[in-house]
Chains A and B, each alone.
Chain A
């Protein structure tokens, strides 16, 4: 029984990990608390829905369209909101509040266009496979396989291109980075593209599995942020560890009590970490006053 819950936890954890990775990329470098990322996530899944169920494109192209819409929306937010704010040197709180405003706009626009009810991509029962006493559905296998694939690609992108070095430099000292001739704004564009891709993939995978509604993004983003905090802020891959941990804990909570206490336990973990280990499991040690 426990192995089934562990597998379920790892599969949901992989989604949290993707969102956590995308959020970490933006938060660690630009220090924007990107709440509108939830809107980006939802927009991706609705684009997927629109192209697949309304226009009847093939599944693969609709999936791609979902990712593209996420990326474009993420870039629009950067160009219209964050970049002007950065040029005005406004405080992180200002970006946070305009990000919340942006999230409210996107989500309600989607609700206006598509309705408030739940939409599903895949009707009927999904084929499932038995491995010993573990039952896994087809889409769950796709989720975990694509997570592994994306994560390897992401690591290669970080290691093999200059981008990985640049964002670590961005994290440490943006002024110095621009003084050696790197255009900060171009780097920010790449950061927002990569995180948009991550959000798009995660949202389309979840949408294929359980469908979507306009408000589903916020809860997943919040868990993604919790994964980042648990894994460790200030590094780029720690959200994966946090995501798996949170996923497993959540599914153990479902096993031991019931699904309704999931949120409560998740955010209890967040608060415990914030208070006692704010640098996270793998994060760089910082003084309490700096946080």
Chain B
């Protein structure tokens, strides 16, 4: 039973990540390869505060703000770039963040990682079992889901959608396009920090290798496979990408080759989807 809860917790954590990336890919039309960097920054910010003895909720709020502010300084210059150049800039940022997390041993303990991260406490009630954590992360996922639903139906969401469809037309209506895109980036990265914090406190151990470029590509594949531009797509993509390895495990693949086979399936799916259905399984929008 704990095994099923574990899978569902991972679905929630990655669900939050893919919903946040969906804001950029599906609504902003911006393919970002730096999402696992912000995921990592969120995780490390929360962890370092928790280790110092701060409670979970203040730490979470601090980490969301810290990640958002940092992402503003990334978004402000890099959103002036378009297409491949934007992808390249976010990719460069991803590698820089990974390199800092890995090599700044004084702050992050580098490749040794940080063990023994305390589980969150709510009024002296410690979330110790997977079931507790399942409820806890489920609540967060639900809040994020409602937040995005509200956001997409708000005037801001509609402006973002109009920019995606036709940037010049919406500029001619007097919309401040750079500002709106920066906000999308900042919100997306702030939400990322939530799932980073959940991940760190759930696994109770983090090291930089969880936040590599491959992880960014994985998050991107979730959104591309599931489809972007609505709320169903990323969720279905997450379920698919998280549950597929478990199905492969039941098929009896040896553990030595299972990760490679899984990756090959992801890669083939990306190629096939791009050929026959560029908008993903449930998506409304395909990248231009």
- Report which of B84, B102, B260 forms a contact with A111, defined as CB distance below 8 A: B260
Across the interface, which residues of B come within 8 angstroms of A96, CB to CB?
31, 84, 87
Across the interface, which residues of A come within 8 angstroms of B264, CB to CB?
104-105, 108-109, 112
Contact residues, A40-97 vs B (CB, 8 A): 81, 84-85, 90-94, 96-97
Asked if residues B266 and A101 are in contact (CB atoms below 8 Å), the reply is: yes
Q: How far is the CB of A27 from chain B (nearest CB, A)?
A: 8
Q: Tell me if B146 is interfacial: C-beta within 8 Å of chain A.
A: no
Q: Tell me if A125 is interfacial: C-beta within 8 Å of chain B.
A: no
Asked if residues B103 and A261 are in contact (CB atoms below 8 Å), the reply is: yes
Asked if residues A271 and B270 are in contact (CB atoms below 8 Å), the reply is: no
Q: Tell me if A175 is interfacial: C-beta within 8 Å of chain B.
A: no
Asked if residues A267 and B267 are in contact (CB atoms below 8 Å), the reply is: no
With A104-B217, A278-B81 in contact, do A94 and B267 touch (Cβ < 8 Å)?
A: no
Complex alpha-carbon distance, A226 and B220, angstroms? 22
Across the interface, which residues of B come within 8 angstroms of A98, CB to CB?
270-271, 274-275
Q: Tell me if B99 is interfacial: C-beta within 8 Å of chain A.
A: yes
Asked if residues B84 and A33 are in contact (CB atoms below 8 Å), the reply is: yes
Across the interface, which residues of B come within 8 angstroms of A222, CB to CB?
91, 95
Q: Tell me if B80 is interfacial: C-beta within 8 Å of chain A.
A: yes
Asked if residues A104 and B270 are in contact (CB atoms below 8 Å), the reply is: yes
Contact residues, B254-288 vs A (CB, 8 A): 257, 260-261, 263-264, 266-271, 274-275, 278, 286-288
- Report which of B83, B84, B100, B217 forms a contact with A100, defined as CB distance below 8 A: B217
- State how many residues of chain B have any CB contact under 8 Å with chain A: 44
Asked if residues B271 and A267 are in contact (CB atoms below 8 Å), the reply is: no
Q: Tell me if A180 is interfacial: C-beta within 8 Å of chain B.
A: no
Asked if residues B77 and A275 are in contact (CB atoms below 8 Å), the reply is: yes
Q: Tell me if A229 is interfacial: C-beta within 8 Å of chain B.
A: yes
Complex alpha-carbon distance, A111 and B96, angstroms? 26
Q: Tell me if B92 is interfacial: C-beta within 8 Å of chain A.
A: yes
Q: Tell me if B55 is interfacial: C-beta within 8 Å of chain A.
A: no
Contact with B along A254-291 (1 / 0, CB 8 A): 00000011011001101100110010000000001001
Asked if residues A108 and B263 are in contact (CB atoms below 8 Å), the reply is: yes
Complex alpha-carbon distance, A268 and B77, angstroms? 13
Chain B residue at minimal CB-CB distance from A115: B256
Complex alpha-carbon distance, A268 and B96, angstroms? 7
Across the interface, which residues of A come within 8 angstroms of B80, CB to CB?
275, 288
Across the interface, which residues of A come within 8 angstroms of B194, CB to CB?
none
Asked if residues B263 and A274 are in contact (CB atoms below 8 Å), the reply is: no
Across the interface, which residues of B come within 8 angstroms of A97, CB to CB?
31, 220, 224, 270, 274, 287
Q: Tell me if B85 is interfacial: C-beta within 8 Å of chain A.
A: yes
Q: Tell me if A167 is interfacial: C-beta within 8 Å of chain B.
A: no
Asked if residues B278 and A271 are in contact (CB atoms below 8 Å), the reply is: no
Q: Tell me if B117 is interfacial: C-beta within 8 Å of chain A.
A: no
Main SS at interface, chain A: helix
With A108-B260, A109-B264, A264-B103 in contact, do A101 and B92 touch (Cβ < 8 Å)?
A: no
With A101-B269, A101-B270, A102-B267 in contact, do A90 and B88 touch (Cβ < 8 Å)?
A: no
- Report which of B87, B98, B103, B268 forms a contact with A101, defined as CB distance below 8 A: B268
Across the interface, which residues of A come within 8 angstroms of B286, CB to CB?
94
Contact with A along B89-109 (1 / 0, CB 8 A): 101110110111011000000
Asked if residues B260 and A101 are in contact (CB atoms below 8 Å), the reply is: no
Across the interface, which residues of A come within 8 angstroms of B82, CB to CB?
291
Q: Tell me if A103 is interfacial: C-beta within 8 Å of chain B.
A: yes
Complex alpha-carbon distance, A112 and B98, angstroms? 26
Q: Tell me if B170 is interfacial: C-beta within 8 Å of chain A.
A: no
Q: How far is the CB of B58 from chain A (nearest CB, A)?
A: 31
Asked if residues B271 and A271 are in contact (CB atoms below 8 Å), the reply is: no
Asked if residues A93 and B287 are in contact (CB atoms below 8 Å), the reply is: yes
Q: How far is the CB of A131 from chain B (nearest CB, A)?
A: 33
Asked if residues A33 and B87 are in contact (CB atoms below 8 Å), the reply is: yes
Q: Tell me if B162 is interfacial: C-beta within 8 Å of chain A.
A: no
Asked if residues A112 and B85 are in contact (CB atoms below 8 Å), the reply is: no
- Report which of B77, B84, B89, B257 forms a contact with A112, defined as CB distance below 8 A: B257
Asked if residues A267 and B95 are in contact (CB atoms below 8 Å), the reply is: yes
Across the interface, which residues of B come within 8 angstroms of A248, CB to CB?
none
Asked if residues A102 and B288 are in contact (CB atoms below 8 Å), the reply is: no
Q: Tell me if B209 is interfacial: C-beta within 8 Å of chain A.
A: no
Asked if residues B271 and A229 are in contact (CB atoms below 8 Å), the reply is: no
Asked if residues A264 and B287 are in contact (CB atoms below 8 Å), the reply is: no
Q: How far is the CB of A94 from chain B (nearest CB, A)?
A: 5
- Report which of A93, A100, A112, A229 forms a contact with B270, defined as CB distance below 8 A: A100
- Report which of A94, A107, A225, A261 forms a contact with B88, defined as CB distance below 8 A: A225
Known: A107-B263, A264-B99. 16 other contacts (CB 8 A): A85-B274, A91-B287, A93-B287, A100-B267, A101-B270, A102-B267, A104-B264, A104-B266, A105-B263, A105-B267, A112-B257, A218-B213, A260-B103, A264-B95, A264-B103, A267-B96
The 7 closest A-B pairs by CB, nearest first: A101-B270, A104-B267, A105-B267, A93-B287, A267-B92, A264-B99, A98-B274
